[in-house]
Amino acid sequence: MMWTALLLLGLAVLLLYARRTRRRNEPPLDKGMIPWLGHALEFGKDAAKFLTRMKQKHGDIFTVRAAGQYITVLLDSNCYDAVLSDVVSLDQTSYAQVLMKRIFIKSLCQNYCHLENFSMQNNLQHLVTPSEMGLKVSEWKKDGLFDFCYSLLFKTGYLTVFGAEKNNSAALAEIYEEFRRFDKLLPKLARTTENKEEKQIASSAREKLWKWLTPSRLDRKPERQSWLGNYVQQLQDEGVDAETQRRAMLLQLWVTQGNAGPAAFWVLGYLLTHPEALRTVREEIQGGKHLRPEEKQKNTPVFDSVLTETLRLTAAALITREVKQDKKICLSNGQEYQLRRGDRLCIFPFISPQMDPQIHQQPEMFQFDRFLNADGTKKKDFFKEGLRVKNPSVPWGTKDNLCPGRQFAVSAIKELVFTILTGFDLELCEKNAKLPLVDPSRYGFGILQPAGDLEIRYRIRS
Ligand code: HEM
């Protein structure tokens, strides 16, 4: 009797929820044709394509249904900061995220930024020595550019951020391989569309990485407690169960190591396929040759424009908040909309401002000097319909939640590109090769990854 009542109640709630209609002042509502699932399949397959289609249909704000969840998507970039700054009504999605950021900022960014930069450079220089790379002077080696960049920056970041010992390159290679197994599956895991075999691969990667990375195995110098160690310790102190700790730890490993490598790939990939850009960057590096190592990275407007342009084209994080209470928001044209408690709010800076044709001409093209003024200084003024755009690109998130590792990421990418361009001969195996297309399943997950690779050969410059 009780079960029947509960079932009927459940059905009634489901029907009521499914019958959701647009209320006055709410954004346009698009539920899709399939009950409950709504637009989930199209959203998951290629978020950029789907959201661009929705933007064309509804404008800069709309609500879609995906797997039972109502998601309001905001694409008016001039009001991102103002809307997301209300951290009372709009909540970060998980407690683990909030905690991670707090600990990360405390233990890495505030206290150790300079030290980290210094040790990051040391670690990278160690990894590109001929013995570490298995290279003899003047011998060419072939590789895929993606794997080349990702493995080098993963290892550099891992050694620097987690303070692990550097003497075992076989172990480092193994950790990278296992991390990549997990990274490849990340979009599927996040959407819970993985099959049985993939579930096993992810779980075995999680087990192995957990074994390698738990606090006792990480370097624990008293003055420099590892950041990840701190994080896991806090989770334990708060009574979080072991499985959740493992999941959280792997996600944090991904957040800190999963973006800089792919970004370095796109930077070098664009340079190798755009000869004028490569020549201009080389000239800039050449001009700073006489500077001390710590000064070399400082005055590099051409490289900075190349990096900003690369991130504009490839940074595609979907920034999500939970709507904790009904909330009114105002778009930059003055129009007001009501958000409903229990929904999610998403912004996707990749579509606007980054790929917005009203802000950036020919947005799909790589133009290395897009962020340079005619006098060679950094270009900051971009306009949309006569209004100055606050941020022409938003790769590091919004003001309330900027990536705390951004300086570290920029220095690491710069150090890698400068080291490769000065210490190595690097060329495409096939002279006219083109950059591979992006893997569309990665929209929403930070820096995009390519669907294929770019074959390169390199040797140590004699
Ligand atoms: C090109 C490289 C990178 C890009 C584009 C990037 C981008 C971002 C973005 C957009 C967010 C905010 C996400 C949100 O609000 O939902 C974020 C958060 C974060 N990033 Fe980065 N990041 C990069 C590299 C790094 C590196 C190298 C580290 C650490 C060494 C790092 C550490 C973090 C941490 C701890 C958070 C907070 C996580 C959270 O709030 O869930 N990031 N990053």
Residue 77, pLDDT > 60, answer yes
Pairing status of strand 344-347 against strand 319-323: antiparallel
Binding site feature residues for heme: 403
Section 247-263 average pLDDT = 87
Atom index in ligand 1 nearest the CA of residue 398 equals 15
Percent of the chain past pLDDT 70, that is, above it, reads 85
Q: How far apart are CA 7 and CA 173, in angstroms?
A: 52
- Contact indicator for 163, 219 with CB cutoff of 8 Å: yes
**pLDDT for residue 110:** 43
Q: How far apart are CA 315 and CA 394, in angstroms?
A: 8
As a whole number of Å, the CA-based R_g of the chain is 23
More confident residue, 232 or 23: 23
Q: Indicate the residue type of 27.
A: P
Residue 330, pLDDT > 80, answer yes
- Alpha carbon nearest to ligand 1 atom 1, residue: 260
- Alpha carbon nearest to ligand 1 atom 17, residue: 403
Summarised one tens digit per residue, pLDDT across range 368-382 is 999 999 999 999 999
- Contact indicator for 319, 397 with CB cutoff of 8 Å: yes
pLDDT band at residue 228 using 50, 70 and 90 as cut-offs: low
* Ligand 1 centroid to residue 21 C-alpha, Å: 36
Residue 404, pLDDT > 50, answer yes
Residue 165, pLDDT > 60, answer no
Q: How far apart are CA 256 and CA 254, in angstroms?
A: 5
Q: What is the DSSP letter of 214?
A: S
* Ligand 1 centroid to residue 99 C-alpha, Å: 14
Which tokens go with 339?
A: 């958000």
SS3 259: coil
Section 197-222 average pLDDT = 76
Residue 291, pLDDT > 80, answer no
pLDDT band at residue 17 using 50, 70 and 90 as cut-offs: low
Summarised one tens digit per residue, pLDDT across range 235-244 is 788 887 877 7
Q: Indicate the residue type of 375.
A: D
pLDDT band at residue 227 using 50, 70 and 90 as cut-offs: low
Residue (of 313, 325, 317) closest to 364 by Cα position: 313
Q: Is 249 in the pocket of ligand 1 (CB under 6 A)?
A: no
Summarised one tens digit per residue, pLDDT across range 79-96 is 999 999 998 899 876 555
Residue 7, pLDDT > 80, answer no
Burial tier of 15 (Cβ tally within 10 Å: 0-12, 13-18, 19+): exposed
* Ligand 1 centroid to residue 251 C-alpha, Å: 11
Residues 6+ apart with CB under 8 A from 454: 144, 145, 146, 269, 272, 273, 428, 433, 435, 436
Residues 6+ apart with CB under 8 A from 218: 162, 163, 164, 226, 228, 229
- Contact indicator for 267, 310 with CB cutoff of 8 Å: yes
**pLDDT for residue 303:** 97
Q: How far apart are CA 120 and CA 411, in angstroms?
A: 9
Max Cα-Cα span within the chain: 84
Q: Which of 27-41, 80-94, 338-352, 408-422 has the lowest mean pLDDT?
A: 80-94
Q: How far apart are CA 369 and CA 364, in angstroms?
A: 14
Q: Is 262 in the pocket of ligand 1 (CB under 6 A)?
A: no
Residue (of 269, 250, 362) closest to 307 by Cα position: 269
Residue 101, pLDDT > 90, answer no
Residue 213, pLDDT > 70, answer yes
- Alpha carbon nearest to ligand 1 atom 36, residue: 403
C-alpha dist (Å) from residue 144 to 96, 435, 456, 458: 35, 12, 6, 11
More confident residue, 289 or 12: 289
Residues 6+ apart with CB under 8 A from 252: 100, 228, 231
Q: How far apart are CA 183 and CA 252, in angstroms?
A: 12
More confident residue, 86 or 213: 86
Section 406-428 average pLDDT = 94
Instruction: Scan for tokens 């990421």, then name that residue.
Output: 409
pLDDT band at residue 113 using 50, 70 and 90 as cut-offs: very low
66 pairs with which residues across the strands?
A: 38, 69
Which span out of 8-17, 99-108, 212-221, 444-453 was modeled with the highest average pLDDT?
Answer: 444-453
DSSP E strand boundaries for 108-169: 141-144
Residue 225, pLDDT > 90, answer no
SS3 308: helix
Scanning 288-395, the segments in alpha helix (DSSP H) are 293-296, 301-314
Which tokens go with 148?
A: 């080349």
More confident residue, 365 or 14: 365
Binding site feature residues: 102, 108, 259, 344, 403
Within 10 A of 243 (CB to CB), how many other CB atoms are there? 9
Residue 164, pLDDT > 70, answer no
Query: What is the distance in angstroms between the CA of the first residue and the CA of the last residue of the chain?
Result: 84
Which string of b and e fits 20-35 if b means at least 16 CB within 10 Å?
A: eeeeeebbebbbbeee
Summarised one tens digit per residue, pLDDT across range 55-69 is 999 999 999 999 999
Q: Is 349 in the pocket of ligand 1 (CB under 6 A)?
A: no
- Contact indicator for 368, 309 with CB cutoff of 8 Å: yes
Residue 219, pLDDT > 60, answer no
More confident residue, 261 or 13: 261
Section 290-310 average pLDDT = 86
